[in-house]
Structure 1
Amino acid sequence: MEEIGIKSKLRVQKHGEVFTPKRIVKKMLDVQEIKEACESILTTFLEPSAGEGAFLVAILERKLNIVVKNYNDDLGRFENYSLLALTSLYGIELLEDNAQTCVLNMFQVYYDIYQEQVQYHNGKLKKKVLDSAKEIISSNIRQGNFLTKQSIDGNPLVFSEWSPIKMRKTTKRIKIQRTEYTLDEIYGNEEKESGKSINKAINKTIQPYKQLDLFDLLVEDDIDSENENPKEMRYTPVNIIDVYKAEMEEADG
């Protein structure tokens, strides 16, 4: 039965929204060069019009299958490398419902495959691994306009780069350094100090600036925007299973 590629004629007329059928997604991802990229857990993908995540979900499935095949001698190693694979997938989507669905679809794929490996290893699901998966997905999938490079509130689109620190073939516990870039900075190949955060005013009672978390759309933002002494912050290197903590410190100087 043929998949329906539209939600409504109005959405097609207003936003040009048409969804790619799964069979077409598979055919495109089976092109040799793309297929090889999907089988590399570090190869980065950016979907500028992510929709509900048809391509990103399919690529994630392929990457996680490679993790199961090559990095699954114990559950801890699977957890580390599966999160590393997750850090390589980015998306931008204009419409809120699509963006939220994309995030949830990606998390569901991660959860299902993680749960399978937990059962295989006779282990337990770890909340911090799932929370770190949520942090990575919600940081990598953004609601905004790819053409204007802006989020829905008019601010620049911001993405996180997740860089493994001194990782070798034998590494089992991956340490990661998070650095934030605007989409303009990414296109300009701008180099930054590792860990740099793009943030608004921060003091001891004010939390770091964070774009819309699509896992938590209903929570009101009650952060006080008034601060006469803003401080530059940077992300500290952490184990990849602890990125959900989003640990930061004051930047030097």
Structure 2
Amino acid sequence: MTKQVKSKKRVADHGEVFTAEREVKAMCDLVKQETERIDSRFLEPACGDGNFLAEILSRKLAIVRKKYKKSPYDWERNSLLTLGSIYGVDLLVDNCIECRQRLFELWDKEYKAVCKKECNDDTREAAKFVLSRNIVCGNALTLNCVDENGKDTTEPIVFSEWTLPFNDARMQRSDYTFAELLAAEEEKPKRKKKKDEPEQISLMLDEKINEVPSDEGVFLKKYITHYRRVQENG
């Protein structure tokens, strides 16, 4: 069973208490249909070491296996798309490192089970890179990155949108500032949120987002490359 507290000092300094596994599963069940869509995007603004994100990833990977287990190529592409649909922010560096590693190990275990001898180290490096972009050390309230002490910097949080727009081996990454994504999300009609539903937002899908670099950082940059080589655009 996952521990809910790492230390009393962390509770006192940061109010850090992790959600228990039973509650995580119950809350994810409230949005069950979304957790079973490969392309639905989830953000955990205080992700800790990844309790919610690991559960969501497990559910999504089960769908990827069901759909693509007979094709290593399709499994790789869609599993990376799945990793790219999960986002997390946390103030503490060690939590971010542990969260990335936890999600990678979960993905890699499934990779070995499905693709066996077809597993490729380039794909593993691509998975690690996607997680390095999506799990960010930052402050979800100020929308800025933080330093090793959890203090705000002047650097804005940047998230990447990952897509497979050409239905081939090319993966597209588009970088946006977190602040602009939230502003775009707030312009959309609101649906009533169920009690205890985890935070889930459709990042980067608003048509009003302008894909032209500007001083306000609406859209930053776009990269298109083979899905096994996304890490080359670090």
TM-score (norm 2): 0.80
Deviation at 1:243, TM superposition (A): 1.0
Change (3 A) 1:26 1:197: farther
Q: 2:53 aligns with which of 47, 53, 56?
A: 56
1:149 to 143, 149, 156: 143
Once the two structures are TM-superposed, the CA of residue 163 in structure 1 deviates from its matched residue by 2.6
Deviation of 1:164 after TM superposition, in Å, equals: 2.3
Task: Tell me which amino acid in the other structure corresponds to 2:131.
Answer: I
Is 1:164–1:176's contact at 8 Å kept on the other side of the alignment?
yes
- After the TM superposition, which residues 75-114 of structure 1 pair with which residues of structure 2 at under 5 Å, given as runs? 75-114=72-111
Q: Give the structure 2 partner of residue 67 of structure 1.
A: 64
Say whether the 8 Å CA contact 1:38–1:62 is kept in structure 2: yes
Question: Which residue in the other structure is 2:171 paired with?
Answer: 176
Q: What is the root-mean-square deviation of aligned Cα atoms in Å?
A: 2.1
CA contact (8 A) 2:169 2:227 kept: yes
Size of the alignment, in residue pairs? Answer: 201
Per-residue CA shift, 1:102-138, capped at 9, x if unaligned? 010001001100011122xxx3320110011011000
Distance in 1 between residues matched to 2:214 and 2:66, nearest whole Å = 35
Query: Higher relative contact order at CA 8 Å, sep ≥6: structure 1 or structure 2?
Result: 2
- Residue 230 of structure 1 corresponds to which residue in structure 2? none
> Once superposed, which parts of structure 1, at least 4 consecutive aligned residues long, lie more than 4 Å away?
none
* Bigger mean CA offset, 237-246 vs 67-76: 237-246
Which residue in the other structure is 2:34 paired with?
37
Partner of 2:158: 158
Is 1:191 aligned with 2:209? yes
Name the % identity. 37
Structure 2 vs 1, CA of residues 77 and 5 (structure 1 numbering), >3 Å: closer, same or farther? same
Matched residue, 1:236? 223
Cα distance in 1 for partners of 2:181, 2:3 equals 35
Cα distance in 1 for residues equivalent to 2:106 and 2:158:
24
Q: TM-score, normalised by structure 1?
A: 0.74
Match of 1:22 in 2: 21
User: SS of the residue aligned with 2:156?
Assistant: coil
Point out where structure 1 has 5 or more consecutive residues left out of the alignment. 168-172, 199-232, 248-253
Q: 1:118 to 1:197 in 2, by over 3 A?
A: farther
Aligned pair partner of 1:125 in 111, 119, 128: 119
Is 1:139 equivalent to 2:133 in the alignment? yes
Does the 8 Å contact 2:161/2:175 carry over to 1? yes
Higher helix share: 2
- 2:142 partner letter: T
Whether contact under 8 Å (2:81, 2:163) holds in the other structure is no
| Greater CA drift, 152-161 or 234-243 | 234-243
The 2-side partners of 1:236 and 1:51 are apart by 29
Verify the 8 A CA contact 2:72 2:118 in the aligned structure 1. no
